[in-house]
Structure 1
Amino acid sequence: MPRHARCKGRMTLKPLTLAATVLALLAFSQVPAACAQTPEDSPVTLDRVFPELKFERPVALIQSPTADATWYVVEQRGVVWRVEASRGKTDKTVFADIRGRVEDGPNEAGLLGMAFHPNFARNGEVFLSYTTDAPGLTSRIARYRSPDAGTTLDVGGEEVLLELEQPFGNHNGGHIAFGPDGYLYAGFGDGGAGGDPHGNGQDPMTLLGTILRLDIDDGNGESYGIPPDNPFAGKSGGRPEIHAWGLRNPWRFAFDPETGALWAADVGQNQWEEVDVIRRAGNYGWNIREGAHCYRAGDCATDGLIDPVAEYSHRDGCSITGGHVYRGKTVPALDGHYVYGDYCSGRIWAMPAGTPDRPGAPRLILDTDLAISSFAQDREGEVYVIDHDDGAIYRLAMREPS
């Protein structure tokens, strides 16, 4: 996707002075971190973390569940790096390398998601979501184990949990995350091409165009079990794995660490990008609607379809990247705001999360030249931004008065 260059060289970012917390262990940049045009009333800027390190097409950043100063960077090509950031020194070592299994081109395929089991400290389980060629493009979720408390991953002991054939090369989704209920959530796009030619978004008999909810601890002899309150559990009319459907390409979702609400970004077709709050049994409208608008006609049936809580047109970007509800202390003005961005334009917005039914209006907080592939959040509630093209990682920081 294209990146803009309209703000090259416009701004210098200053280093952040950190409180004496574990986050002080991160090495912060003391040179300009990113081209970021900050609206005059915005409280936010960006500081680069791990400034001596770069990564190749990173798509995820995850803090270790057992060590605050240890992070994992997921590269689309099929490599996961373990990053140790302590006392001013930052090192990276290979945690996992599955390039031999990953099909990562030419569009949106690759190693797309990673999640630690909630009981990782006890069982050492890690889950990866990636596309493989088997022989056609196929999405796969697999379980692995770390034999040494997160230093390396035993990729030879892969246990495939789920495979989903992809009819086209884009809209693979691929994000995975554990919810506060302990279940594994997984997002998949509508199967690709343009306009959902197979009608997958509105077909709950396929796993395409959905967010799934899986019990990976109690499968009754199967690879995974079905939570009993899934909308189609024990019923006809849909696949029992489905939690919500009607999605085009849910690119990054996250649970609010305070309320548990599930926020997702759904990439649009030609006109609208949208933010959704995902509910059980929710139908989010694709391909009847794109955002809050009829996709193909001036009038369309909307009964049973859930509106996005925010949207923007392609005047402001072309591919939304989902973020997190900010619960940190570094930027108090962002407390309780959902932060998200756009891959093409590099813009970053924040909107008051409020209640899931009544979020506030979004506002632009940063205008950068980053190709934003993902956001991340640490246990302190701070939010990070990942640049897919340059392989750099940034942290939201308080803007110093000019």
Structure 2
Amino acid sequence: MKLAYLALAGSLFVYSGSTAQAPIVKLQLVTDQVRSPVCMAVPGDGSNRLFIVQKEGRVWVVQNGKLLPEPFIDVSGEMVKVNPAYDERGLLGMAFHPQFRTNGRFYLYYSAPVAKPAKGLNHQSVLAEFRVNKAADNKAEPGSRKVLLQFDQPESNHNGGDIVFGPDGYLYIASGDGGGGGDKHGAAGNGQDLGTLLGKILRIDVNASPYRIPKDNPFARTAGARGEIWAYGLRNPWRISFDKRTGRLFAGDVGQNKYEEVDIITKGGNYGWRIMEGYHDFNVPSGADKSKLIAPIHEYDHDDGISITGGYVYRGRAIPGLQGQYVFGDYNGKTWALQQKGGKWQRNELAFDNKPQGNVQLLSWGQDEAGEIYMLVTIPQGGGVVKGLVYKLVK
């Protein structure tokens, strides 16, 4: 194994190599009526509502344990048409403003068609702001749409799409490298190019029109760089999340051919892609200084999985044995939890005593206001039909 790593705060974040058993938990069905559930968001207003994002363009509300019959919002008309069985485009992310209770603002990240199709341009990623309907808490005001940011995507895949507000009140946006194998777009690849928003974690202030770049962003004053960039060198960060207690930002970054990784994202950090895939050399330019690259806290190879689905640090009360562990999984349905012990991380198998039957495809995770965790999956039914299910992890 070839390591390229950076010591953070005096500790070396490297997977210890040992595997243990996390607590066996149960899955409590929340709904099986939302096809392709790729994201879950909560408004933080004390209502305990769950907002389930459907890849095809709708957001659904679960209130008092029941799925409401009408969608909260439908933006499918603004999007490219997506395949529910397999398509990395679509409605991919949702976040509520920290002051949603008073200002009614929320944000969506989705894939939109381009106005003027051109070679090498597949679609655009759009970040837009919306407002809730003042007369109906469970309905958005469609006419309130305000596009804050949009950027070109050369391929249909590697769109990232997760959006989350940090403890600092700024919006963090996960962006993939633009797709295609090996980060092939651009001389050095998009991941290492500070002149593009692709292959990055972005950080913006939405309390300005259309948005403001925070002055303390690491590249805000760097010539030729996009000031929105918070961290770079990522391939396809599929789900990012802040630990409710420590404020650390976790990312599950999808690998290329062999390795999947979990990263802790820090200001100005370079996470290595396409120079590295996980801990391993991938496309190393002559004279490259790998000592400044930040290694993942954990990687696993394709004997275990095929595409990582990043999750959340558990901060609920229902499952004490999971407290402080980062719960994540893989598209193939496998699930784990990472536990930090000293400067190392140990991967624990996360088992369920009532896991659903069939070819479970793990699309995403969610976390409610109390810190409890949810698992969002699909199960193919044949003929291109998929069944979506949302579960809550319980003891």
Given candidates 127, 136, 140, the residue that maps to 1:153 is 140
Measured in 1, the distance between the counterparts of 2:70 and 2:63 equals 9
1:141-191 deviations in Å (ceiling 9; x for gaps): 000111236311112221000001000110001110100000000011000
Q: Find the counterpart in structure 2 of residue 307 from structure 1.
A: 295
Given candidates 336, 349, 362, the residue that maps to 2:347 is 362
Given candidates 116, 121, 128, the residue that maps to 1:142 is 128
Matching residue's letter, 1:376: G
Superposed, 1:124-135 pairs within 5 Å as 124-135=104-115
Given candidates 69, 84, 87, the residue that maps to 2:63 is 84
Superposed, 1:57-76 pairs within 5 Å as 57-76=36-55
- TM-score of the pair, normalised by structure 1: 0.83
Q: Find the counterpart in structure 1 of residue 3 from structure 2.
A: none
- Structure 2 portions without partners, runs of 5+: 1-18, 116-121, 380-386
Superposed, 1:155-170 pairs within 5 Å as 155-170=142-157
Mapped contact 1:71–1:82 kept (Cα < 8 A): yes
Measured in 2, the distance between the counterparts of 1:93 and 1:105 equals 21
Matching residue's letter, 2:79: V
Q: Find the counterpart in structure 2 of residue 98 from structure 1.
A: 75
Matching residue's letter, 1:377: Q
1:209-255 deviations in Å (ceiling 9; x for gaps): 0000000103xxx4110111101112314210000000000000000
Most deviating of 315-324 and 291-300: 291-300
- TM-score of the pair, normalised by structure 2: 0.84
- Structure 1 portions without partners, runs of 5+: 1-38
Measured in 1, the distance between the counterparts of 2:67 and 2:197 equals 40
Most deviating of 314-323 and 150-159: 150-159
Most deviating of 53-62 and 266-275: 53-62
What is the count of residue pairs matched by the alignment? Answer: 351
Cα deviation for residue 301 of structure 1 reads 4.2
1:43 matched to 2:23:
yes
Mapped contact 1:125–1:145 kept (Cα < 8 A): yes
Measured in 1, the distance between the counterparts of 2:68 and 2:149 equals 34
Given candidates 72, 90, 96, the residue that maps to 1:116 is 96
Cα deviation for residue 41 of structure 1 reads 4.6
Mapped contact 1:324–1:338 kept (Cα < 8 A): yes
Given candidates 228, 231, 252, the residue that maps to 1:241 is 228
Mapped contact 1:44–1:331 kept (Cα < 8 A): no
Cα deviation for residue 371 of structure 1 reads 1.0
Mapped contact 1:351–1:362 kept (Cα < 8 A): yes
Most deviating of 325-334 and 296-305: 296-305
User: Residues 277 and 354 (structure 1 numbering): CA distance in 2 closer, same or farther, change over 3 Å?
Assistant: farther
Higher relative contact order (CA 8 A, sep 6+): 2
Measured in 2, the distance between the counterparts of 1:67 and 1:49 equals 22
Identity of aligned residues (%): 44
Cα deviation for residue 90 of structure 1 reads 4.9
Cα deviation for residue 361 of structure 1 reads 1.2
